[in-house]
Amino acid sequence: MPHMPDKPDTWVIALAWLSQHSPTIYAATLSFVMAALRIIYGGGTRRQAMLEATICMLLTTSLIAVLEYFGLPSSLATPVGIWIGFLGVKKIADLADRFADFKLPRRSE
């Protein structure tokens, strides 16, 4: 059975990457778990829970860049991820549509 080569540099690089991206990984994981638990609690299927949780995880990951853009600390990624998982994809989409209609009025045809 082949073993992983004992190269300290590899472990240092991997641990440095994990420590640098830990808020993102933690927030995305919590978003995934919260969305899956919400769907299961509501009586949804495993397939629905996995799809909803994956979409919420991707939404959380994308919003972390928005936090950085506005100069907010990365520690806010955790509550943002939990709330995205709690609200769900449909509610987030409705909020985005309302925001877009408010900020970007439709062109009259």
User: Quick one: pLDDT at residue 23?
Assistant: 87
Torsion of CA 27, 31, 32, 33, to 10 degrees: 100
Burial class (CB in 10 A: 0-12, 13-18, 19+), 31: buried
Nearest by Cα to 38 from 61, 23, 56, 63: 56
pTM here? 0.77
Structure tokens at 71: 């100069």
Q: Which two structure tokens, joined as six digits, stand for 61? A: 């990951």
CB–CB of 35/85 below 8 Å?
Answer: yes
Average pLDDT for runs of 10 along the chain of length 109: 70 89 91 94 93 93 89 89 91 87 67
